[in-house]
Structure 1
Amino acid sequence: MVKTPDWPADRFKALIDRVLDETGLNKAQLAALLGINPSQVSRWTSGSTRPRFDNLVALGTALNARFPALDVSVLDVLAAAGYSTGGPTTEGDIAVAREQPKPDFSALPPNLADIKDPTPYEAAMLAAIATMRQEMANERQEMANEIRSLNEDVAELKREQERRDRKGA
């Protein structure tokens, strides 16, 4: 006897199938986008494993950033996996949740992993945090590249100055 999952696996599979179809990605590429093993995506779509909340937030954030035309939000992904978004998960509720005011980050708990069944507002905050972390990582890399380039320029200027000093001596 096959155990029926206690989460809406069919609804989540339908979302993943739509994402794969509309983006042209395969399961391995989707997994790479999230930094997870491709077998995990297969377990999700087969219904044998329910995705963890943090993976769903990462999936929704990545899809929204990389494929905005899909119009798949973090809330859409959470609802498809059966996580409560603070009430009925109708399209209208999701649309209202998208229009929430900018989150107040001062009210966040010290450990974001403690948020188990987030409200739409909490899901929006978590998505905003994930986006901000990615933007900060990108900016940090850009700054490191700029510093490296400036250090190379300084080193070249010092070499030129040393050559001039030797010729002048």
Structure 2
Amino acid sequence: MDPVTALRTMERQGTSTADALALFDSLPPVQVDQMLGNWHGAEVATGSPLDGVLELSGWHGKRYHSAEDAHPLVMEGRRGLFAINPALVPMGPAMRTAPLLLRLKLGGVVRALLPLAKTGKPAARLRMVEYRGVVSGTMVYDALPVNDHFRRVDEDTLFGAMDLRGLDSPFMFTLHRED
């Protein structure tokens, strides 16, 4: 199966972390300049404690204006798209309460609170970083112990592995170019 089809299947059906990482590791690196633009994101469910949380919160994707101007959390709101400051998102409590938030379907509450974290300032930078033995484009958060590592599926698709301190395995997701 070609990587694009494999990734689309994983987006729809979910997969194991091992299979997601096997596909990730098979893909070529992406250069920072190839990452610039607006991206729509999708989760790849692997059994991570974060599965479903971004979707529940109204996550749309990411914006990369330059290597120094990256917006990691672009959300969908009543008035359109907006970026939030990840430093204002309590990652520890979010990870601990994710199953409860999902079970109680509290997405509306979460989405109602997110505009309080709205920002126009960049909250991350893009760098070439080695991860799993390959140097590739990585988004480094300014205020959180998080790196989003990417591999290139095709010109308009990236496969991401969010490496978060305290998470046993990466949270997997895709980005699809909107430009």
TM-score, structure 2 as length reference: 0.25
Higher helix proportion: 1
Higher strand proportion: 2
User: If you compute each CA radius of gyration, which structure gives the higher value, 1 or 2?
Assistant: 1
Query: Which structure ranks higher in relative contact order (CA pairs < 8 Å, sequence separation ≥ 6)?
Result: 2
TM-score, structure 1 as length reference: 0.26
